[in-house]
Amino acid sequence: MFRERFPETVLETVVAHAGTHLTALSARQLDVAFVLSGIRQERAGRFRPIHSERFLVALPEEHPLARLRALRAKHLAREPIVLFPRALDPAVHDHLVVDVCGRAGVSPSVVLEATTLESSLGAVADGLGLAFTAESVADLITVRGIVFRPLMTTVPALQVGVAWGRDATSKAVQQFLVIIDELIRGPGLPNAIAGPTVTNGHRPSVRVTSG
């Protein structure tokens, strides 16, 4: 859609974790990026929300907590947790550890840091611990022996959206944001953003350059 309307603009897709995107935005190495924004996040620029993202807990199907229809942070107080390093996605990490668990008086017992969704769920299947999974991707991936339960919380949900640098005023960036606004008003954009996270835990960003 963007290339059809603005063929003179070069669009380069870069796939990486949100932490890498935010650093690149600050260094002016990227123009825009799709990231999750939380109430504690220090943004490297401006942010336009697209849709809310809630989290589920992945656990072995034989685990006692699997009998519950939904979980709260207090249920995780004595459970081993598989989590990703904070540097990969600071907003999501702080949301889960500080806002969701911390406000409930729970300090997660992280027994393993996994850098991909596959390794995280694989650890759950092996009985090493429980893991958090974005709701938007849970229906798109299946791992034998694992079930998902909603994580109930009073903390506002994270927002998936597009971020860009505070001084990104180029015509090409503004054109890209116009397309995003049009897609927000129509169907399909949330799934398009969620897709890359299914295979590698990454989200897309782009460089846009006027030709």
Residue 139 and residue 115 share a domain: yes
pTM, whole model, 2 decimals? Answer: 0.75
DSSP the chain: -HHHH-TTEEEEEEEE-HHHHHHHHHTTS-SEEEEEE-TT---SEEEEEEEEE-EEEEEETTSGGGGSSSEEGGGGTTSEEEE--GGG-HHHHHIIIIIIIGGGT---EEEEE-SSHHHHHHHHHTTS-EEEEEHHHHTT---TTEEEEEEE-SSPPEEEEEEEETT---HHHHHHHHHHHHHHTSSSHHHHHHHHHHHHS-EEEEEEEE-
**Could you give the CA distance from residue 110 to residue 132 in angstroms, rounded to a whole number?**
12
Cβ proximity of 158 and 49 under 8 Å: no
For residues 45 and 65, membership in a common domain is answered with no
Return per-residue pLDDT of the chain as tens, 211 residues.
777 887 887 778 887 777 788 788 888 888 888 887 764 454 546 888 888 889 999 999 999 999 999 999 999 999 999 999 998 888 889 999 999 999 999 999 999 999 988 999 999 999 999 999 999 888 788 889 999 999 999 888 888 888 887 776 678 888 888 888 888 776 555 544 443 333 335 555 555 544 4
CA 175 to chain centre: 25
**Tokens of residue 10, six digits:** 């070069």
Q: What is the largest CA-CA distance in the chain?
A: 59
Tokens 């999750």 sit on residue: 36
Q: What is the CATH number of the domain that holds 86?
A: 3.40.190.10
32 and 45 share a domain? yes
Q: Please tell me the predicted confidence (pLDDT) of residue 198.
A: 33
pLDDT at res. 58: 97
Is the Cβ–Cβ distance between 21 and 164 less than 8 Å? no
Q: 33 with 91, same domain?
A: no
Q: Are residues 18 and 77 in the same domain?
A: no
Give yes or no: residues 45 and 20 share one domain.
yes
Residues 100 and 121 in one domain: yes
* 60 lies in the same domain as 141: yes
Per-residue pLDDT at 199? 33
CA angle 139, 150, 97 (to 5 degrees): 110
Number of domains making up the chain? 2
- Residues 26 and 65 reside in one and the same domain: no
At position 135, the amino acid (one-letter code) is: E
Residue that is last in its domain, among 103, 131, 152: 152
Last residue in a domain, options 132, 152, 172: 152
Looking at the structure, do residues 114 and 74 belong to the same domain, yes or no?
Answer: yes
Taking the CB of residue 57, how many other CB atoms lie within 10 A of it?
26
Are both 187 and 115 inside the same structural domain?
no
Q: Yes or no: say if 193 and 59 are a contact pair by the CB < 8 Å rule.
A: no
> Is 59 in the same domain as 140?
yes
Domain closes at, from 131, 152, 173: 152
Q: What is the residue range of 195's domain?
A: 2-51+160-210
Q: Which two tokens stand for residue 36?
A: 């999750």
Looking up residue 27, the CATH number of its domain turns out to be 3.40.190
